[in-house]
Structure 1
Amino acid sequence: MKPAAFTYHAPETAAEAAGLLADLGDEAKAIAGGQSLVPMLALRLAVFDHLVDLRRVGGLRGVERRNGDVWIGAGTTQTEVQRSALVAEAVPLLSRATPLIGHFQIRNRGTIGGSIAHADAAAEYPAVALALDARLEALSPRGSRTIPATEFFTGLWSTALEPDELLTGISFPVRGARSGFAVEEFARRSGDFAIAGAAVAVELDADGRVLRCGIGLFGLGSTPRRASAAEAAATGGGADSLSAEEIGRDAIAELDSVPSDLHASADYRRHLGAVMVARAWQRAVKEASDA
């Protein structure tokens, strides 16, 4: 199939793009790399009268330090994220998750902002954003605002972005020296969406206790999820005494609904999810302990 007819717009500034989204309303959709949207348009799972292409918009690409965080422009491609020495050094969880996204052709065109704004529950970047307490920057004709990742994902393929808002960048806090990070996922083939996965960040204090941690879950619900109860239970505990398997079970136990489809039953997904959390937790704690 081919997409339904649409009017194409190519703004050159973020303000112009946000203005188009405001003027055109629900009939318009922003498109960056198009790796998620174009297949949906081709299958007519989504239809829009207007597409606002963001590729020419200045200021939406780049990786830099800002106020102690690492800021990444929403239009930065996943390949650029993967190759960034700054990301590898300061936000290693994001760097390690990137090779798991599709194939290199997809990463060459797909953008970090497009992945997060698309809010696919089985995608890696949204779960990483949750685990790292990322902050999402949005621009509209009314001004700019910052949305915590924990408030950003609201439902199936839906976010807290208003119809006239454009995601312009993502800020990732840099963790302390005694930190460890890991991402684990189960997929039938390399490059497929994960059936279940977990992104884990752990920071230890001088006594080896968990100072703070983040556990992002993907493939286990209609939205990416954060295992807040499991995090709270682990925080303050000694890294050597905490059971990774118990943390995995706790993380999955707080999920109110797990999907069942032709790829996996809900029970199988729960089992896989607990295993992925446990494996990621073990790797992250080891890295933090060895730092």
Structure 2
Amino acid sequence: MYSFDVVKPTSVADAVSALSQDEAQPLGGGQTLIPTLKQRLASPSVLVSLSGIAEIRGVCKMDDGRVSIGGGTTHATVAKEAAAHYPALADLAGNIGDPAVRNRGTIGGSLANNDPSACYPAAALGSGATIVTNNREIAADDYFQGMFATALDEGEIVTEVRFPVPEKAAYMKFEQPASRFALVGVFVAKYADGVRVAVTGASEGGVFRWSEAEAALSGNFDTSALDGLSVPGDGMISDLHGSGDYRAHLVAVMTKRAVAAAH
């Protein structure tokens, strides 16, 4: 790597101030950023570590029934502390990467990076979550804007994610075995007003909602409602791990598995 400074603020206000410096970049758990630095694909002059900010860590049940997770909360903590409040989300977090990744990576870092194969974007979009930053609240439907693209402004920090708890939910992931990223992952959540289905790992545009499946499952929350439904292979990621058509096939398969698991 190359020379850069590291600062470790202890409050959101101090972090925002540090990020106002030229070429400053936030550092969450570093699971994506550190390899990027090693490959010289990013060259910040200052890294602003968010790991020392206690106010953006932790899991709690809100008065309105939602589950609030601080942006600096590690995957391992989500897996443990969200289990009593939102089991499907806790299960998702407990199957991200390996123990080293789960004990360093954070939900805020994952959502800010918005890797097209990451798991948390499917949970946030599938749950209709609200992403809270130091400046505003952003609905998940407005937050994700394409591969590695989000609604975040420069220097904006994910401080909290608020998840409405569904009646039933499950996440099923077909893993790429080396990285444990999702070759295709589907999060299904059933609410009183309908079903949400979010797909990660498949599309060149990043995480997306499968509206046809949502409509079918809102009428009949059963795997049979998905019979005959499919997504087109056009626009799906095609690489050495699988073609676009293969990923499109997996979308239907993993959605059925998620619905079955939710029951």
TM-score w.r.t. length of structure 2: 0.92
In the alignment, which of 167, 175, 189 is matched to residue 187 of structure 1? 175
Gaps of 5+ in 1: 205-210
What are the within-5 Å matches in structure 2 for residues 15-30 of structure 1?
15-21=13-19, 23-25=20-22, 27-30=23-26
Name 1:151's counterpart in structure 2: 142
Distance (whole Å) between structure 1 residues aligned to residue 217 and residue 169 of structure 2: 15
Name 1:73's counterpart in structure 2: 70
What are the within-5 Å matches in structure 2 for residues 1-291 of structure 1?
3-21=1-19, 23-25=20-22, 27-68=23-64, 69-84=66-81, 87-139=82-134, 144-175=135-166, 179-189=167-177, 191-203=179-191, 211-222=193-204, 223-235=206-218, 237-239=219-221, 242-247=224-229, 249=230, 252-253=231-232, 257-284=235-262, 287=263
Mapped contact 1:14–1:58 kept (Cα < 8 A): no
Counterpart secondary structure, 1:110: coil
Distance (whole Å) between structure 2 residues aligned to residue 227 and residue 240 of structure 1: 16
Distance (whole Å) between structure 1 residues aligned to residue 261 and residue 51 of structure 2: 37
After superposition, give the CA deviation of every residue in 1:194-228 in whole Å (9 maximum; x if it has no partner): 21121111246xxxxxx411111011123111113
Percentage of identical aligned residues: 38
CA RMSD of superposed structures (Å): 1.9
Counterpart secondary structure, 1:220: coil
Counterpart secondary structure, 2:180: coil
Counterpart secondary structure, 2:84: helix
Which amino acid counterpart does residue 265 of structure 1 have in structure 2?
S
TM-score w.r.t. length of structure 1: 0.84
Distance (whole Å) between structure 1 residues aligned to residue 86 and residue 178 of structure 2: 23
Distance (whole Å) between structure 2 residues aligned to residue 240 and residue 129 of structure 1: 22
Counterpart secondary structure, 2:185: strand
Q: Which has the higher helix share?
A: 1
The count of residues paired between Structure 1 and Structure 2 equals 261
Which structure is larger by alpha-carbon Rg, 1 or 2? 1
